[in-house]
Structure 1
Amino acid sequence: MRRLLFSLLLIACISMQPNVVQAQQTQVAQSIPLKVNKIYKGKSIKVDDGDTFTFLSKSKTPYKIRLDGIDAPEKGMPYAKKAKEYLAALLLCQDIEIRIVSIDRYGRYIAKVSCAHKDLSLVMLEAGYAWHYKQYNQEASLATAAEKARQQQTGLWQEKAPLAPWTVRAYRRAGYSDLEFQKLRKQNSPEIRRFIEAI
């Protein structure tokens, strides 16, 4: 009986070994940083929202990537789901190219992302599924695309008074729920004026 149990335990350990080795290799691979201004090719394996996705490099290493120059609607806000779906459709292209711009405080790589020779930040702005993140990017082409989408009421700009993602993040961090904030906003409460920024 003891021999049988020992044999089963040995088989289990042996069968688990490749997975352990693979996990260790993946962990080591993930610790290899991408270099700023260098171009990498690969594909998307997961889309988090309208401006962030997981990029799988040619070396089969996953990296969290945020599109440079744009800020998409936060989860739970109008057009958040549509923005995510639109970016996911764009990323179906299997020939994705990224150029690293910087790394944000959350450890995500900020990158210029192109697919089929199209700048995806620009495409998202033209479709009205993101704001131009002017605090971190002053590109004229992105500013023009964002303003054009706004004037033509494309995408999220069909909303009467859409809230910028950075405003949503700010009031959520301060402890306001979406419902509370919208109620106070309708009342034009001075309590929340500090969160409202020009769009």
Structure 2
Amino acid sequence: MMKKSFLLFLLIFCSFAFCQTYKVIGIKDGDTVSLLMDGKEQTVRLAHIDCPEKKQPYGTKAKDMISVLCFGKMVSLKGDGKRDRNGRLIAELLLPNGINVNKTLVKAGLAWHFKKYSKDEIYAQLEIEARNKKVGLWKDKTPVSPWNWRKMKKEEKAINSVAF
């Protein structure tokens, strides 16, 4: 019943708000996609979440899941038009059937709630539920967050670049 109500709301909202849809033309990693917007490629960073990096455990699984969910499909965006420091549009991706791709990745244990940039309680709860169910990356005893992984790689690179 709740799902039907949401879909009805989405249909009504989009018809009044003139929601635009865009084709997903590329998957860069678990939390970054390319859309065709107004005839041009636009990179979108998924809001509220941070997926494992490509070389990190579950990074490929996150990319595979988002590929299955939305590659080649039409999606709408939910966001405030903000961009990250790399110029990527930050938004939630919504499929025509109402599925929120960002939330789906967290539910599947393939993304962390990115608390540094999001205070959304729904994402926080979805992460807690995935942890408790030990799905995806939460199967590991000590999963490493992507932000810590990036920090460790940056430190490794700095150490390796020091000339002796």
TM-score bucket (shorter structure): 0.7 to 0.9
Partner of 2:62: 83
Deviation at 1:93, TM superposition (A): 6.4
Paired letter, 1:88: S
Query: Shift of the alpha carbon at 1:99?
Result: 2.7
Aligned AA (1:99) = K
> RMSD across aligned C-alpha pairs, in angstroms?
1.9
Identity of aligned residues (%): 32
Counterpart secondary structure, 1:125: helix
- Residue deviations 1:112-149 (CA, integer Å, cap 9, x gap): 21112111111110011000001111111111111100
Q: How does 1:96-111 map to 2 (within 5 A)?
A: 96-101=75-80, 102-111=82-91
Q: Partner of 2:124 in structure 1?
A: 143
Q: What TM-score do you get using the length of structure 1 for normalisation? A: 0.66
Gaps in structure 1 of 5+ consecutive residues: 1-37, 178-199
| Structure 2, gaps ≥5 residues long | 1-17, 159-164
| 1:175 alignment partner, SS class | helix
Q: 1:118 aligns with which of 69, 88, 99?
A: 99
Q: Say whether 1:42 aligns with 2:22.
A: yes
1:7-41 deviation digits (Å, cap 9, x = unpaired): xxxxxxxxxxxxxxxxxxxxxxxxxxxxxxx9541
TM-score, normalised relative to structure 2 = 0.79
The residue number in structure 1 matching 2:140 is 159
**Alignment-mate amino acid for residue 39 of structure 2:** K
Following TM superposition, by how much is the alpha carbon of 1:43 offset from its aligned partner in structure 2, in angstroms? 1.2
SS at match of 2:156: coil
Pairwise mapping of residues 1-199 of structure 1 onto structure 2 (< 5 A)?
40-57=20-37, 59-92=38-71, 94-101=73-80, 102-115=82-95, 116-175=97-156
Amino acid at match of 1:95: M
Q: Following the alignment from structure 1 to structure 2, what is the Cα–Cα distance between the partners of residues 174 and 63?
A: 31
**Is this contact kept in 2: 1:39–1:100, CA < 8 A?**
no
Deviations 1:37-72 (A, max 9, x none): x95411111101110010112x22210001100000
